[in-house]
Amino acid sequence: MASLLFYALSAIAVLCALGVVISRNPMQSVLNLLGSFVAVAAIYLLAGFQFLAAAQILVYAGAIMVLFIFVVMLLNLTDREESQSVWMGLFNGRILGSLAVFAGLTVSGLIAANGNFAPVDTISHDGNLDNMTLLAEVLFSKYMLPFEAASLLLLATLVGVMLLAKRERNGERHGAQLSSQDGGSEA
């Protein structure tokens, strides 16, 4: 049953990834990407990595997807859609995306209904593999330095993104803008 679910989720993830590549509309690409992330998160859950699945949903399917969709909508890129064939319609993000969400919910429901959050036939030591206490112990002892470096990276990203995305004021130039403002006029 679990392996059947794995293959179904793999098929969804691969189809969604295909949709990312072949969709003409950026919005459909991004929605397909969301479907792929959710399917992969469900695979994590099946494999017994609960915390990774949660992080995948929160960071990938939550934060990163919101950023992508926000930018696509901000730049108003969802236009010029020619008539699609039936097969292209499969990849417009709606069918596959909702399928992925449904499958993810099914997996978490099955695991929750099992009573324990460790899937039955994963690696069973004294605890399960993705015991969050164990993960935290390793993260805050062996990987303390990378953890701090990661926080520094986040801070640097925060500053860099604000600098890059800041609107240019009159007469005030920032180092990020290299070419002149009328660079787009030449075809």
Partner 1 sequence: MNVPTEHLLILAGILFSLGALGFLLRSNLIVILASVELMLNAANLTFLAGARSHSSVGPLNLDGPIFALFVILVAACEAALGLALVIAFYRQKQSVDIEAAAELKG
Please tell me the number of Cα atoms within 13 Å of 47 on its side-chain side: 14
Build a one-symbol-per-residue string for 13-42: x at contacts with partner 1 by CB under 8 A, - elsewhere: xx--xx-xx-x--x--xx--x--xx--x--
63 contributes a contact to partner 1 by CB under 8 A: yes
Q: Is there binding between residue 80 and partner 1 (CB under 8 A)?
A: no
Cβ 101 to partner 1 shortest distance, Å: 17
Q: Are 101 and 37 in contact (CB under 8 A)?
A: no
Q: How far is the CB of 123 from partner 1 (least distance, A)?
A: 5
Residues in 139-158 at the binding interface with partner 1, rule: CB under 8 A: 139, 143, 146, 150, 153-154, 157
Question: Considering only residues 73, 112, 144, 176, which one is a binding residue for partner 1 as defined by CB under 8 A?
Answer: 176
Count of beta carbons in the 10 Å neighbourhood of residue 71:
13
Q: Write out the binding residues for partner 1, residues 87-126 only, by CB under 8 A.
A: 119, 121-123, 125
Of 102, 112, 164, 173, the one binding partner 1 by CB under 8 A = 164
Residue 97 to residues 13, 19, 43, 70, 118: CA-CA distances in angstroms? 10, 10, 15, 18, 26
DSSP secondary structure, 163-183, as one string: HHHSPPPTT---TT--S-GGG
Measured CA to CA in angstroms, residue 67 lies from 95, 104, 141 at distances of 22, 22, 32
Nearest approach, Cβ of residue 149 and partner 1 (Å): 9
